[in-house]
Amino acid sequence: MAWDPFNVTEDADLGIRLARNFYRCQMLRSTTYEEAPGRFMCWLRQRTRWLKGYMQTWLVHMRAPRALWRELGPRGFLAFQIMVGGTVLSALAHPWFYALACFDLATSGLLTRPESVFGWPFWLIAWFNLSVGYLASMGLGLLAVRRRGYVTLLRQIPLMPLYCLLISAAAYRALWQFMTARFEWEKTEHGLAVRGSGERRIG
């Protein structure tokens, strides 16, 4: 089992390689005290690197899709498409749905029901995805914040749609870097929350 030294999201690539060699990962019931980026550009660079690494991971492992199917199995292969490829695709496509919604709103077509029976399934699926997708994200955020007791973060949960758009911005930045600076590694600054130490770690 080899390690791809050029992948800028090494844990994604390594996780797939472990799965292809019939290893399995499990969650530990513990807390990872990792410092989140405290500044927007630091956060954007980190998300850009992660999404660029997802692009690299998907393309590398899909060079031989039959072998990937054989080694991961149908369920694993589908999970790979959804988790790795789907994460990138959904982030890239998300802003275009807003653009389409704004167009429909401007032309009074946003809430218009389908004119034919064939349009109803698409109309219902679209509204289901819109409502349930956002509600599920907000619900998970609410659950996590309440269980941890971080009540001051509750007011940020309604900002999830804005956060999703920022993820899309990182995805397009990642796509541009994938074409122009594929192996550039934008380091994430750590230690910024530690006051008085004067130390900064890069990792």
Q: How is residue 198 written in tokens?
A: 């004067």
Block means of pLDDT (10 residues each) for the chain, 203 residues, are 85 93 85 81 94 96 96 96 96 90 78 75 81 88 88 89 94 97 84 52 45
Q: Measure the CA–CA gap between 152 and 156, rounded to whole angstroms.
A: 8
Q: Measure the CA–CA gap between 147 and 89, rounded to whole angstroms.
A: 31
In-domain check, residue 165: yes
How many domains, in total, are found in the chain?
1
In-domain check, residue 120: no
- Tell me, what's the pLDDT at 39? 87
- Tell me, what's the pLDDT at 198? 46
In-domain check, residue 62: yes
Tokens 């380091």, located at residue:
187
Say if residues 87 and 171 touch (Cβ distance below 8 Å).
Answer: no
* Whole-prediction pTM: 0.83
In-domain check, residue 3: no
Q: Compute CA distances 106 → 22, 98, 110, 119, 125, whole Å.
A: 52, 12, 8, 21, 22
In-domain check, residue 117: no
